[in-house]
Chain A
Amino acid sequence: MTDTPLLAVEDLRKSFGSLEVLKGASFTVRPSEVIGLLGRSGSGKSTLLRCLNMLETPTGGRVLLDGEEIGFKTDPSGRRRALSGAEVARQRARMSMVFQQFNLWPHRTALGNVIEGPIQVLGVPPEQARTEGLALLDRVGLLAKADVHPIRLSGGQQQRVAIARALAMRPKIMLFDEPTSALDPELVAEVLQVMLDLAKTGTTMVVVTHEMAFARDACDTVMLLESGEIIERGPPDQVMSRPSDERARQFFGGRRPNAGAAA
């Protein structure tokens, strides 16, 4: 791990009308770092994550990936303008997102979902995309389901395909928004296992999660978001067991990670 940040978030703000959801969040993500983003429902976790890849346009602050500002451009004269859809698309191709609701494309098979981005966006030749896509499905344990449409897959399987789809873009960073929250309890472990593997093999990740054991075992850093502000950050053990903020103590009071591995 080096100390040059891969992702730098500076004073990020977002309001929906008069509702101020993000009140100036700043943090950095180093290469291979895994960050857990925790917080009550409605604290702004999804909004923060979605501002990183411009699914929501921030109302203030900046996001820098490898030093390049996401979503905006400042020309030599100092004027800042929003990038076009095509330019933002090019930037988004370098960061992947995994959604709570999986969001697999229903008209494509598992493999079809995985190779769509590489072929359409990266221009990878179809044969190569297939080979690589099958390898990724193998990695998430779903090689046998390559030709199956999403509705024939369990929730856990769908989310693993979605992870393979995100990996297929060879992203610099992966964003996860509560990837196990829509799953039946017995399917959570298989998804967390895949994510734990990714974390251990040096994937840079920002993970919104309510899985305290996962946050403790997989994350280098956890941040606690409260009403649009990061009120606590640090190594999981420190943040979870000795939070300095009273609101953080309340949050973790009811959410001790169980003993044992996350998965």
Chain B
Amino acid sequence: MSYEWDFSILLQYRELLLNAALTTFQLVALSVTLGVLIGLALAPLRMAEARLLRYPATALIEFIRSTPPLVLVVWSYYCLPILGGLALSAFWTCVLAIALYSGVFFAEIFRAGVQAVDRGLVEAGLAVGMRPATVLRRVIGPVAFLRVLPPFTSQCVMAIKNSVLGSYIAVGEILYEGQRLSTQTFRPLEVLTLVAAFFVALILPMTLAAGALERRIFLRYFRR
């Protein structure tokens, strides 16, 4: 191969690339935050005794889960304005779509976490005279949190990866700007390698830290 690498191109366009990275960060932060809220709202509905609450929540979760996230992004971009007269920017459309997609997974993760809490631990709380809300706050919450942390991290990683779907509707995140730059400068190798490296640098430490944390939690609280 006689390709001549020239990484100076990255320095030259560093401002544009930094801005794009910033957009990615914003996209991820907003969609994960919103997604967690959606998950926290959906999980109790999904677990509700009343079918009137449980069925719609389950249906929504199953529908969204069966949709490829790219379809969700593109659908939101073209259909939301028509259906709801909602004229959101591409950025906010993308935030919303990824938040919804992550949110239903968060809901399932939270539900599984809560339902995995041993009934006996709840009864022990009730037996010392805790109110149901106190049991939720002092027993179910913390125990579920420890169990939920690993799948929660994985889902956050998925949200980071899904943020590149914004490029399809021209959100100026890192992949979109990277692609534009690479065609403008005829330097795809440098630019796109940087884009890939950016995600590895972001995600790899996260998964490593989460793995270590998971082992620690397991050893400290749950191993028998």
Chain A interface residues toward B at CB < 8 A? 53, 55, 85-86, 89-94, 96-97, 99, 101, 103-107, 116-117, 120-122, 149, 151, 162, 165-166, 169
- Shortest B195–chain A CB gap in Å is 40
Q: B222 touches which one: A93, A151, A162 (CB < 8 A)?
A: A151
Residues of B within 8 A of A85 (CB): 131-132
Closest 7 CB pairs between A and B? A93-B129, A117-B128, A103-B120, A103-B124, A97-B127, A121-B129, A92-B129
Q: Decide if B146 is an interface residue (CB 8 Å cutoff).
A: yes
- Shortest B84–chain A CB gap in Å is 40
- Shortest A125–chain B CB gap in Å is 17
Q: Which residue of B lies closest to A119 (CB)?
A: B138
The complex places the Cα of A53 from the Cα of B127 at a distance, in Å, of 7
A96 touches B124 (CB 8 A): no
Residues of B111-132 at the interface with A, using a CB-CB cut-off of 8 Å, are: 118, 120-121, 123-132
Residues of B95-142 at the interface with A, using a CB-CB cut-off of 8 Å, are: 118, 120-121, 123-132, 134, 138-139, 142
B123 touches A103 (CB 8 A): yes
- Shortest A165–chain B CB gap in Å is 7
Q: Decide if B221 is an interface residue (CB 8 Å cutoff).
A: yes
A-B contact pairs, 6 of them (CB 8 A): A93-B129, A96-B127, A103-B123, A117-B128, A117-B130, A169-B128
Query: Given A106-B143, A151-B223, do A120 and B120 touch, yes or no (CB 8 Å)?
Result: no
Q: Which residue of A lies closest to B128 (CB)?
A: A117
Q: A107 touches which one: B123, B134, B146, B224 (CB < 8 A)?
A: B146
Residues of B within 8 A of A97 (CB): 123-124, 127
Binary contact readout B48-80 vs A (1 if CB under 8 angstroms, 0 otherwise): 000000000000000000000000000000000
The complex places the Cα of A128 from the Cα of B43 at a distance, in Å, of 38
Query: Given A89-B131, A120-B134, A169-B128, do A101 and B146 touch, yes or no (CB 8 Å)?
Result: no
Q: B128 touches which one: A101, A107, A121 (CB < 8 A)?
A: A121
Given A97-B124, A121-B134; 18 other pairs, CB 8 A cutoff: A53-B127, A89-B126, A92-B126, A93-B128, A99-B124, A103-B118, A105-B121, A105-B139, A105-B143, A106-B143, A107-B146, A107-B221, A116-B128, A120-B130, A121-B130, A151-B221, A165-B124, A166-B127
A151 touches B224 (CB 8 A): yes
Residues of B within 8 A of A121 (CB): 128-130, 134
B127 touches A92 (CB 8 A): yes
A104 touches B124 (CB 8 A): yes
A55 touches B123 (CB 8 A): yes
Residues of B within 8 A of A120 (CB): 130, 134, 138
A107 touches B142 (CB 8 A): yes
- Shortest B161–chain A CB gap in Å is 31
The complex places the Cα of A11 from the Cα of B186 at a distance, in Å, of 88
Residues of B within 8 A of A149 (CB): 220-221
